[in-house]
């Protein structure tokens, strides 16, 4: 990995802008500028390195295919595409007249060069089309063909993800082939980038619709209160988004009540759920215990009290915003009597407000990390109280992020929180990584893993588009529900706040996109 230097970054960026005919830092403070808070610095924005925030990439780099609202696949650098009947050949017709922001033409050869930087490489085997890639060929300036060794039903969806599946100027690499500057075909060009801020100017040579303002400033503000105060003072225009600068429901309600900022909330694409340890000797290996936990929780109260109403109670693995999310399950109402009946039917005996089986008490280890999932300690305490009314004792173990990354993959817990990946990665991302027992999911761990479930998941991931895949996906959800293999809680809504400088706010398609499209500024 090349060392990231602000000086070398800015020199490289200045050269790229000059080559494209764009004067370096030509835009001053008097021009319309959108100011967005970001939680951490943008970093070096290298397409092959996992060390930068994903949202900034979406300003600079374009995909072949764009993930639109509701999972609709839309043309981007590829005008059209088709997949052979056997799923082994993907053909793309590339858009004509597109250039990178340094003036280099984007064509089939440039696309092939980019794809070969990651497809077929072991570091990117987690992407199905990379693992299955056999060859890439071109046909003139706009024809691109990818041959696969085996069909990847989610192939087109995978071409919508952010990193590494976007396109860098072939001139923006050093002698060793390492990225030297973030030069893409996107609507924005970076002119400044350090650990406090990133400045982007509009790419007036962009092939698509031009943004109505000239400049974006991404300002690093790690503290949520400071972000809210910046919005109040007019120093920031937009805060929010799970991956940009998270806005808690409580803070959103406070801003809303003051009237100085507007809150935008919409149905989310992720689910927060309780996972049961797949360890064979865990207390939760007993289905009766899982049934009791499931029935003991008041999801509606959780959404209302802990999420200030900015969440939707859910019983499905995925919210309806995710394609192929299955038939909606009714959200259960809390039923302590049903929870106790499940335990009794499972051979547990109640005495003095607690339960035992074969002399062993019903006590669950509840693993929580506030660093990994902010707000989770408070949610765990609410669940702990609900379980106590059933007679189930839950001992909360609150750990740091590093410890969570050790204990979760080792299944060193009875209960812990998980969050699905969301759009554009789901449903295939969560199912393939967090349920298949033979896949190394690293610190993410497993929501549930069972040799009985593996073939059902694999069949769904391999099923062709259409009714066959819908039925195969539904088979997964039916199995999970029948075996009470997980406990969905809520689908948190997507939360953003914007100030008086923003005339119109438009929600981006996914939480990995930086908001700017459709946004209008006053002035």
Give the per-residue pLDDT at 69.
Answer: 85
- Residue 494 DSSP SS3: strand
Whether the ω angle into residue 427 lies within 30 degrees of 0, i.e. cis, is yes
Query: Strands, DSSP E only, in 54-104?
Result: 65-67, 73-75, 78-83, 89-94
Give the per-residue pLDDT at 15.
Answer: 40
Give the per-residue pLDDT at 285.
Answer: 96
pLDDT reading at 483 higher than 90: yes
Report pLDDT digits (tens) over 348-403: 999 988 999 999 999 999 999 998 888 899 999 999 999 999 999 999 999 999 99
Q: Which run of H or of E encompasses 349? A: strand 349-351
Long-range contacts of 429-436 (CB under 8 A, 24+ apart): 430/317, 430/318, 431/457, 431/460, 431/461, 431/476, 432/457, 432/461, 433/126, 435/476
pLDDT band of 126, cuts 50, 70, 90: confident
- Report the number of secondary-structure helices (H) and strands (E) in the chain: 15, 24
Mean pLDDT in residue range 157-165: 94
pLDDT band of 28, cuts 50, 70, 90: very low
Report pLDDT digits (tens) over 429-467: 999 999 999 888 888 899 999 999 999 999 998 888 889
Cβ 157 vs Cβ 424: under 8 Å: yes
Closest CA to 512 of 392, 421, 387: 421
CB atoms within 10 A of CB 416: 27
pTM of the entire predicted model: 0.84
pLDDT reading at 512 higher than 60: yes
Provide the percentage of residues in the chain whose pLDDT is more than 70: 94
Give φ, ψ of 476 to 5 degrees. Answer: -65, -50
Cβ 453 vs Cβ 479: under 8 Å: yes
Report pLDDT digits (tens) over 210-252: 899 999 999 999 999 999 999 999 999 999 998 899 999 999 9
pLDDT reading at 21 higher than 60: no
pLDDT reading at 51 higher than 80: no
Cβ 416 vs Cβ 367: under 8 Å: yes
Report pLDDT digits (tens) over 245-286: 999 999 999 999 998 899 999 999 999 999 999 999 999 999
Give the per-residue pLDDT at 260.
Answer: 83
User: What is the CA 413 to chain-centroid distance, rounded?
Assistant: 25
Taking CA 153 as the corner, what is the angle to CA 150 and CA 155, rounded to the nearest 5 degrees?
85
Give the per-residue pLDDT at 27.
Answer: 40
pLDDT band of 19, cuts 50, 70, 90: very low
Report pLDDT digits (tens) over 329-351: 999 999 999 999 999 999 999 99
Give the per-residue pLDDT at 89.
Answer: 97
Residue 139 pairs with which residues in a beta bridge? 143
Domains in the chain, start-ordered, CATH in brackets?
A: 1-60+172-267+494-523 (3.40.190.10), 62-167 (3.40.190.10), 272-492 (3.10.105.10)
Give the per-residue pLDDT at 242.
Answer: 87
pLDDT reading at 83 higher than 70: yes
């Amino acid at each position: 990995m090349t060392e990231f230097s602000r000086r070398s970054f800015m020199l490289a960026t200045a050269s790229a802008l000059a080559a494209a005919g764009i004067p370096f830092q030509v835009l001053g403070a008097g021009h319309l500028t959108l100011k967005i808070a970001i939680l951490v610095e943008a970093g070096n924005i290298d397409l092959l390195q996992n060390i930068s925030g994903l949202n900034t990439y979406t300003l600079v780099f374009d995909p072949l295919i764009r993930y639109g609202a509701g999972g609709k696949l839309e043309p981007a650098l590829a005008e059209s595409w088709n997949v052979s009947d056997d799923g082994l050949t993907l053909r793309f017709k590339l858009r004509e007249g597109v250039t990178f922001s340094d003036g280099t033409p984007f064509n089939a050869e440039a696309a092939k060069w980019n794809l070969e930087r990651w497809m077929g490489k072991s570091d990117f085997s987690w992407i199905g089309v990379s693992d299955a890639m056999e060859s890439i060929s071109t046909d003139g300036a706009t024809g691109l063909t990818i041959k696969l060794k085996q069909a990847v039903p989610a192939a087109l969806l995978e071409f919508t993800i952010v990193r590494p599946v976007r396109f860098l100027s072939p001139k923006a690499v050093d002698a060793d082939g390492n990225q030297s500057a973030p030069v893409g075909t996107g609507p924005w060009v970076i002119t400044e980038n350090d650990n406090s801020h990133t400045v982007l100017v509009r790419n007036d040579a962009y092939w698509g619709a031009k943004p109505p303002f000239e400049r974006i400033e991404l300002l690093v503000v790690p503290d949520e209160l400071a972000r809210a105060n910046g919005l109040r003072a007019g120093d920031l225009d937009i805060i929010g988004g799970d991956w940009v600068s998270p806005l808690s429901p409580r803070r959103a309600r406070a801003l809303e009540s003051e009237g100085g900022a507007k809150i935008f909330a919409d149905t989310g694409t992720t689910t927060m759920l309780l996972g049961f340890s797949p360890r064979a000797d865990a207390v939760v290996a007993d289905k009766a215990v899982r049934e009791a936990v499931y029935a003991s929780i008041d999801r509606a109260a959780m959404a209302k009290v802990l999420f200030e109403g900015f969440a939707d109670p859910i019983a499905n693995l995925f919210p309806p915003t995710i394609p192929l999310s299955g038939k909606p399950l009714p959200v259960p109402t809390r039923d302590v009597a049903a929870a106790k009946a499940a335990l009794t039917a499972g051979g547990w005996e109640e005495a003095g407000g607690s339960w035992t089986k074969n002399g062993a008490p019903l006590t669950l280890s509840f693993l929580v990390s506030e660093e990994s999932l902010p707000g989770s300690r408070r949610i765990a305490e609410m669940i702990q109280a609900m379980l106590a009314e059933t007679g189930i004792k839950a001992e909360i173990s609150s750990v740091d992020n590093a410890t969570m990354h050790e204990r979760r993959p080792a299944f060193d817990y009875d209960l812990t929180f998980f969050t699905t990946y969301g759009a554009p990665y789901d449903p295939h991302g969560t199912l393939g990584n967090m349920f298949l027992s033979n896949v190394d999911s690293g610190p993410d761990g497993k929501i549930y893993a069972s040799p009985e479930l593996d073939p059902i998941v694999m069949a769904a991931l391999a099923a062709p588009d259409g009714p066959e895949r819908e039925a195969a996906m539904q088979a997964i959800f039916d199995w999970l529900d029948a075996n009470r293999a997980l406990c969905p809680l809520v689908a948190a809504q997507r939360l953003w706040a914007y100030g008086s400088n923003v005339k119109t706010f438009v929600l981006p398609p996914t939480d990995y996109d930086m908001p700017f499209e459709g946004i209008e500024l006053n002035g």
